[in-house]
Structure 1
């Protein structure tokens, strides 16, 4: 990501998005672009939501559908019944001139139409290639991202991701865009990010791990554990609550770190299944370890 992810208020994997989230995403290649959009769109379809997809205006719909189906099941039926809509962004304001206010009003109409059609929730994926394609003022777009669109999310029925091509926008714009969103996404599904925890003062060192801890991210996971182990702080914290997957190897590595931390207190936080895994693997036998979770 072009911005400092650890400085963002909330960064999650695309699978951990909540209803009503407004999230920033960036991509550097076609794989990271469509892995995120595809995962997001298929999740919405499987949950019975209406999905609005505003793809790069340069792409024909047939190409968009091919990319989507590379990351999930066929979507033709969802398109035919109107659950998945492929839309051009200029539809939100035409025949009137472009303005971000009209763009937002058009989105609101789409949400209201979906609710009238019986959908409980709506999600949209917006490729920000539309900004250059339709000549939008970038300052107005950034205002929209930062504060203008908040009313769209008030009732948590609408979720939105805005995907930025890092090769089309300057680092300054990317930084401002990411900061303007309450939530940011990992660059691609299946990745892992280690971000510092800011809690407990000088006597605590901690990391929060976001994404997936498995064979594909094992090297990065082990590096994060080495950072924790190398700290001289008497209290060590590993926050794993934003992991969508934790394999047994990685869970055992956490327990080995805790067992070796003689004279220090190790706190591991995780979701219910992760907590259960640690307990099954012998966490209660490590006196300096506290496992916190559901």
Structure 2
């Protein structure tokens, strides 16, 4: 099967069967938030099956990413449940047949409730459990096409690259017609710079020095062009040199007075930004992660 990679969650059409592989949990949550939010806006029913995070924690993470979860949860448009409650409702490991039957029933219920369709976000981490049947997982992925033909069901499956063995991961990805990934400006063992979907902006993870200055400059230039206010997520950044810190301050200074650049980072990164004049840039706002500015 030829796998098409889409640059944006917004490019997913009804009836899509997409695979999201990831190593950064924050990046996965961003993409999931965009997927869920767009489903709610379009008026379809949304079902989130979670394994890595408890439902209450996932609800919090979606809300933190500006997904309006409270009212949809009350009305039933949004459901957040565990994979145990869905795939394993009958006890033991799920089978491809039971998973397909569950999704078919969910689509029927959604349509019966007046929704035009169902959008499913499925964390596939359950398949790494010791007694999980990998062959059933792959049979499910390869058999899902029959439920997608009328466009009422859209599914995105999440695979953590650090949890699945390479052979299983490759076979799972091949079973999906579409692959979803964040737009990356740079990605190697030291640093990842990518587009963040919700809130719109840029995420840096790892360490950035002079050798990677072009990636940061490119990302900031595009964000300034695309976004009114620029959001720079540095929660996952362990080190930034003075030159790249200066690039951030200069980018903020280039903004007109009615726009700003918000940086979220830890105390060390904040201190580095302070050394290159962050306090002198009125358009720059620095917020310590999980803390106050």
Q: Distance in 2 between matches of 1:32 and 1:175?
A: 20
Q: Distance in 2 between matches of 1:246 and 1:174?
A: 36
CA shift at 1:120, angstroms?
A: 0.3
Change (3 A) 1:108 1:215: closer
2:148 equivalent to 1:157: no
Q: Distance in 1 between matches of 2:159 and 2:132?
A: 14
2:180 equivalent to 1:180: no
TM-score with structure 1 setting the length: 0.60
The answer for the alignment partner of 1:124 in structure 2 is 120
2:17 equivalent to 1:25: no
Q: Kindly report the root-mean-square deviation, in angstroms, between the aligned alpha carbons of the 2 structures.
A: 3.3
Decide whether the 8 Å contact of 1:122 with 1:158 is kept in 2: yes
2:58 equivalent to 1:48: no
CA shift at 1:79, angstroms?
A: 0.4
Aligned-partner SS, 1:90: helix
2:84 equivalent to 1:90: yes
Change (3 A) 1:89 1:245: same
The answer for the alignment partner of 1:143 in structure 2 is 139
Aligned-partner SS, 1:129: helix
Change (3 A) 1:123 1:219: farther
Deviations 1:211-267 (Å, cap 9, x if unpaired)?
A: 89x9959956999xxxxxxxxxxxxxxxxxxxx99949xxxxxxxxxxxxxxxxxxx
**Gaps spanning 5+ residues in structure 1: where?**
1-6, 194-210, 224-243, 249-294
Change (3 A) 1:10 1:246: farther
Change (3 A) 1:29 1:121: same
Change (3 A) 1:148 1:73: closer
CA shift at 1:16, angstroms?
A: 0.8
Decide whether the 8 Å contact of 1:8 with 1:184 is kept in 2: no
Aligned-partner SS, 1:59: coil
Equivalences for residues 1-16 of structure 1 within 5 A = 9-12=3-6, 13-16=8-11
2:105 equivalent to 1:113: no
Change (3 A) 1:222 1:123: same
CA shift at 1:44, angstroms?
A: 0.5
Change (3 A) 1:75 1:222: closer
Aligned-partner SS, 2:31: helix
Tell me which of 99, 117, 121 is aligned to 1:103: 99
**Gaps spanning 5+ residues in structure 2: where?**
187-194, 204-212, 227-293
Change (3 A) 1:20 1:219: farther
- Count of residues in correspondence between the two structures: 202
The answer for the alignment partner of 2:53 in structure 1 is 59
Decide whether the 8 Å contact of 1:39 with 1:72 is kept in 2: no
Change (3 A) 1:179 1:220: farther
Change (3 A) 1:181 1:220: farther
Equivalences for residues 30-41 of structure 1 within 5 A = 30-41=25-36
Equivalences for residues 110-259 of structure 1 within 5 A = 110-133=106-129, 135-145=131-141, 147-186=142-181, 188=182, 191=184, 219=214, 247=225
TM-score with structure 2 setting the length: 0.61
